[in-house]
Amino acid sequence: MLQPREKFTAPTQYETSQELARKIQNRAARLGVIGLGYVGLTLAAEMAKEGFEVTGIDIDRNKVDSVNSGISYVLDVPNETLLPLVTQKRIKATQSLAAVENLDAVSICVPTPLRKTKEPDLSYVVAAAEAVGNHLQQGQLIVVESTTYPGTTRELVLPILEKTGRQVGRDFFLAFSPERVDPGNFTHTTRTIPKIIGGVTPQCGKLASLLYQQFVDKIVPVSSPECAEMAKLLENTFRNVNIALANEMAIMCHSFGVDVWEVIEAAKTKPFGFMPFYPGPGLGGHCIPVDPYYLTWKARLNGCEPRFIELAAQINSQMPLFTITRVADALNDRQRSLKGSKVLGLGVAYKRDTSDTRESPALEVLYGLQQKGAAVSYSDPHVPSIQLNDEKIKSLPLTAEVLEAADCIVLLTDHAAFNYEIIAAHSQLIVDCRNAFKGFSRTNIVSL
């Protein structure tokens, strides 16, 4: 006699979350990272080092092949770290978005650039969310790490995932945890930098916190994804506006005939109420020049006028032109015109000791010098070649002959690998944008 079929009952929220929690604690959870850039690959490595099986997903075939060969393209993840993880099958990479189906948790670490209109471009986030939605499984945890405006996780990502008919907090879990990677910083790393986490529901936040505490030293839970999104924007806007103040001080000090670097050194001796920020040829990297525009765009939608933040962005955007003017003036003081002069830029990465040239002001300075007729070359131990005005140029070795051949050296990025004694000894003229030659008494050095 045939027995009647048992009626299927969907797992409860408690059962679903408990199963995922068990897998995380037992290192049985299969983790995924969408986007294998500076943030994603570093995160994947930390996960794998703690015993998790990690799948990296990226549309870039070169990145996928490089990871699967154990060859890192990110300075923060040396080959000596990546290769054993690949060999032990802790990390693998793929271009297939269908890999999401076999994962228990997915971290989205895709770029969030600006459009030419300075408005947020969330096309990568949307594409990643749609890919996850197309392959969403019961009980999966999704964590967005890409920096974005407040409301993105709940207003943009959540509706895409709920199109599947599944309900957040019951069938899947969603949270926002802003990346805080500082490329080239080996003191404050993905593991040691506290991790902010805001879940769409309390259970979402708890599960995301449980996952990240397996490979991050300190978790900072907040009440919502909006709070976590806003905290990240506050961090980078804080730096943006204070660097703008330092840059404006540099311009004023130059007009007064005062050394801005000496001024800052004197001011920072105050043991309270002051935090030093430093001027430079402009702002670079993905975060600081970009994130404030995400905030101002969202603020306008809510009827706010973020004048202070926008003014800071305007000041910072002037610094490449100010740097070019300083080079022209320094050459003019030595009876040379900028047009026809040989100018060697030192460092093209946006910050010291990295290979990251995203939004690098050094590239803007070199392009501007070239447009004004200078014969431009560069040297950077971390960046073998760059595209400048539709021309690919290669980094020059920093020899005495190369230095002596230049009419002007412009120090744009103060890499530790540069030998500043040799640079000072063999250069006709140096425009120092980073105070790297502090303490040098040579007359051939001009400060920003």
Beta bridge partners of 343: 376, 408
Inter-helix orientation angle 291-301/225-256, to 10°: 120
Measured CA to CA, the distance from residue 180 to residue 188 in angstroms comes to 10
Measured CA to CA, the distance from residue 70 to residue 59 in angstroms comes to 18
Report the run of H or E that residue 22 belongs to, with start and end: helix 13-25
Strand order in the sheet with 445-447: 375-379, 342-346, 408-411, 430-432, 445-447
Give the closest residue to 152 by CA, choosing from 176, 168, 133, 116: 176
Measured CA to CA, the distance from residue 130 to residue 128 in angstroms comes to 5
Residue 408 annotated as catalytic:
no
Reduced 3-state DSSP string for 307-352: HHHHHHHHHHHHHHHHHHHHHHHHHHCCCCCCCCCEEEEECCCCCC
Output the CA–CA distances (angstroms, integers) from residue 277 to 93, 94, 163, 236, 290, in the order listed.
Answer: 39, 41, 46, 13, 19
Residue of 287, 304, 408, 433 marked active site:
287
What's the CA dihedral at 233, 239, 241, 244 to 10 degrees?
A: -140
Measured CA to CA, the distance from residue 354 to residue 338 in angstroms comes to 29
Amino acid at 415: H
If you search the block for the tokens 């001796």, which residue do you land on? 269
Measured CA to CA, the distance from residue 49 to residue 447 in angstroms comes to 44
Give the closest residue to 111 by CA, choosing from 266, 287, 322: 287
Measured CA to CA, the distance from residue 410 to residue 430 in angstroms comes to 6
Q: What is the DSSP string of 170-199?
A: TTBEEEE------TT-SSS-TTTS-EEEEE
What residues are annotated to the active site? 287
